[in-house]
Structure 1
Amino acid sequence: MPVISVPQDFNEDDLFVDLEGIFGQSLFLKCEGFNFAGSIKLKAATEMVEAAERDGLLTPDSVLVESSSGNLGVALSMIAAAKGYRFLCVTDSRCNLATRLMMESLGSQVHLITEPDPVSGFLGARIDHVRALCASDDRYVWLNQYANPGNSMAHYRRTAPAIARQFPELDVLFVGAGTTGTLMGCARYFREWHRPVRIVAVDSVGSVTFGGAAGRRMIPGLGASRRPPLLDESYVDDVVRVAETDTIRTCHRLARRGFLFGGSTGTVVSGAMDWLGREKGRGLTAVAIAPDLGERYLETIYQTNWVQDLYSEDVLDSKTLTSAP
């Protein structure tokens, strides 16, 4: 029985779900949402805060500040509360209400950006605001998840080895691309492994991470309106782009079988199933990383009016939720 004194000391790292019974294709889903922060972002948040402490960047007067679409903000809110720091999260109007309320419940301040930058979108506007804060007061400490090496190192040290322990014959790994911290950390680990592993990045349609035109994205988490500084495409074997309608259908299909996952997870699973179907992936040992759970999406992805208002009436057609891929 684990006994902890601070919330970041608990994280279930060895839970996988075999999705073959739901989608007709074997895919082991690594569930990263079973910790007090509710997502994989706990690992990156812990690594970055501890590195800042070791480097002497944080003092009792420091105010942590970070741009986040949600999950990292919750993780940093939790760690800040446990360690006695103040934290300001700069997010935007796509952030789920439940996520904002959770950060505030943990004692953090939330600043909501309502207007995107004309060129770099909401992400650019959030980062500009963070930089302005840091320029105005030297008490602000920006961890900068987009360029901080601790973001990817957390997954090189923890996420990838946990997968390797459970799947020594791993053939292909599917990782969602947001800041690309998880993607780069896992890709670098498996590049050094004893057998070749194909690394497939899963991105959202409308994201510019791997090139292409920017487009509307209403589901927070994956994708970016500017190229992530951490990204090194030489470590990525393939890229799958997923439309948000497919993300929503996949989330609802999983929920119909009792698994309530978040939007990032729905995107990764949809992309993985598409790739495995095209590559005739039967017989491959395939793992996908599920970054989050679904409770924070009850007012968006799992709310029928929200879905139909933003997309179309037939997104949640019963046939699309039960038919084989």
Structure 2
Amino acid sequence: MKVISTPQEFNQDDLYVDLGAITGQRLFLKCEGFNFAGSVKLKAAAAMVEAAERDGLLTADSVLVESSSGNLGVALSMIAAAKGLRFVCVTDSRCNLQTRLLMEALGSQVVVVTDPSPTGGLLGARIDHVRALCASDDRYVWLNQYTNPNNQLAHYRSTAPAIARAFPDLDVLFVGAGTTGTLMGCARFFRAWHRPVRVVAVDTEGSATFGQAPGRRMIPGLGAAMRPPLLDTSFVDDVVHVGERDTIRTCHRLARHGFVFGGSTGTVVSGATRWLARQERPLTAVAIAPDLGERYLETVYQTNWVQDLYGDDVLEPRTAGVASPSA
């Protein structure tokens, strides 16, 4: 029996889904959504808050502030509530309504930015707003997930070692690229591991993280309008870009088999399936699923929303059986 006194004490770190029957590839999905914050971002949030407390940056009068597309905001809302701290989340119009309502239910203030920055898009506008808040009152404490080393350290110390223990014969790891904290923490760990593991970053089309021109992105989570400061491409062996239409198709395909995951997971699974289909021999592969799908019911899983944005032909017929990998 496990008994906890704060929500951040619980995180199921040892659950994998065998996607072989769904994707036609030897692919295991590490589920990071089974905690009270509902996503992998709990690890980074806890690590950054603990470091700020340890360094004396957080006091009883402090007001936490962070830019987030959703999941980190929920994780920080939960931790702030548990610690009796105030928290302001600066997000943008792509953030799911359910995510915003959840943060508010936890007592956080949510600021929604709607006008993109001329150079940094909505992300740049969010960061500008955070900086303006911090300049207006020294009680604001910005953890800055985009540059905070504890973002990646959390995954270097927990996520990657957990995968290594579960899959000592691992050949390739697929990680979605957002702030790149999860990606870089895992990549740095496996670069120093006792056997070679290829680390493949999965990004969304329209993201500028790996040098592509920024474009429209409607699904929050992965991607960025500017290169994340934490990213060091020398630790990344390959990059796969996935269009949002393929993300949606993959989410719905997984749901037809009883697994409702978030948009980021759909992107990662789609990219991993396509990458594995090009390999000459079977590999032991793990992909990280950042969250579950309940917060996407009004977007990714809502037929009208999908068809309005991506067209009537996006959703596949409800057929059973093994899905063919994307071309």
Partner of 2:49: 49
Distance 2:315 2:212 in 1: 28
Q: Helix, strand or coil for the counterpart of 2:178?
A: coil
RMSD over aligned CA atoms reads 1.0
The alpha carbon displacement at 1:320 in A equals: 8.8
Instruction: Tell me: CA distance 1:300–1:321, structure 2 relative to 1, closer, same or farther (3 Å).
Output: farther
Q: Is the 8 A contact 2:256 2:318 kept in 1?
A: no
Q: Is the 8 A contact 1:250 1:321 kept in 2?
A: no
Distance 1:121 1:265 in 2: 23
Instruction: Tell me: CA distance 1:247–1:292, structure 2 relative to 1, closer, same or farther (3 Å).
Output: same
Distance 1:55 1:211 in 2: 35
Partner of 1:287: 286
2:266 is the counterpart of 1:266: yes
Identical-residue share of aligned pairs (%)? 79
Instruction: Tell me: CA distance 1:281–1:136, structure 2 relative to 1, closer, same or farther (3 Å).
Output: farther
Partner of 1:298: 297
Name structure 1 gaps, 5 residues minimum. Answer: none
Q: Is the 8 A contact 2:208 2:224 kept in 1?
A: yes
1:155-166 paired onto structure 2 within 5 Å = 155-166=155-166
Distance 1:106 1:281 in 2: 48
Distance 1:74 1:275 in 2: 32
Distance 2:47 2:156 in 1: 11
Count of residues in correspondence between the two structures? 324
Q: Is the 8 A contact 1:145 1:179 kept in 2?
A: yes
1:239-278 paired onto structure 2 within 5 Å = 239-278=239-278
2:194 is the counterpart of 1:194: yes
Distance 2:250 2:124 in 1: 29
CA deviations on 1:264-298 (whole Å, 9 max, x unpaired) are: 0000000000100112452x110000000000000
Partner of 2:7: 7
Partner of 2:212: 212
CA deviations on 1:124-183 (whole Å, 9 max, x unpaired) are: 000000000000000000000000000000000000000000000100000000000000
Partner of 1:310: 309
CA deviations on 1:230-285 (whole Å, 9 max, x unpaired) are: 00000000000000000000000000000000000000000000100112452x11
Partner of 1:80: 80
Q: Is the 8 A contact 2:208 2:223 kept in 1?
A: yes
2:101 is the counterpart of 1:134: no
Q: Is the 8 A contact 2:60 2:85 kept in 1?
A: yes
Partner of 1:24: 24
Partner of 1:40: 40
Q: Helix, strand or coil for the counterpart of 1:145?
A: coil
Partner of 2:61: 61
Q: Is the 8 A contact 2:45 2:151 kept in 1?
A: yes
Partner of 2:182: 182
Partner of 1:122: 122
CA deviations on 1:208-246 (whole Å, 9 max, x unpaired) are: 000011110000000000100000000000000000000
Name structure 2 gaps, 5 residues minimum. Answer: none
Partner of 2:148: 148
Distance 2:268 2:205 in 1: 12
Instruction: Tell me: CA distance 1:306–1:90, structure 2 relative to 1, closer, same or farther (3 Å).
Output: same
Q: Is the 8 A contact 1:249 1:320 kept in 2?
A: no
Q: Helix, strand or coil for the counterpart of 1:193?
A: coil
Q: Is the 8 A contact 1:253 1:321 kept in 2?
A: no
Distance 2:64 2:189 in 1: 29
TM-score, with structure 1 as normaliser: 0.98
Q: Which amino acid aligns with 1:95?
A: C
TM-score, with structure 2 as normaliser: 0.98
Q: Which amino acid aligns with 1:224?
A: A
Distance 1:152 1:272 in 2: 22
Distance 2:23 2:267 in 1: 14
Q: Which amino acid aligns with 1:66?
A: E
Q: Helix, strand or coil for the counterpart of 1:318?
A: coil
The alpha carbon displacement at 1:86 in A equals: 0.2
115-124 or 238-247: bigger deviation: 115-124
Q: Which amino acid aligns with 1:294?
A: G
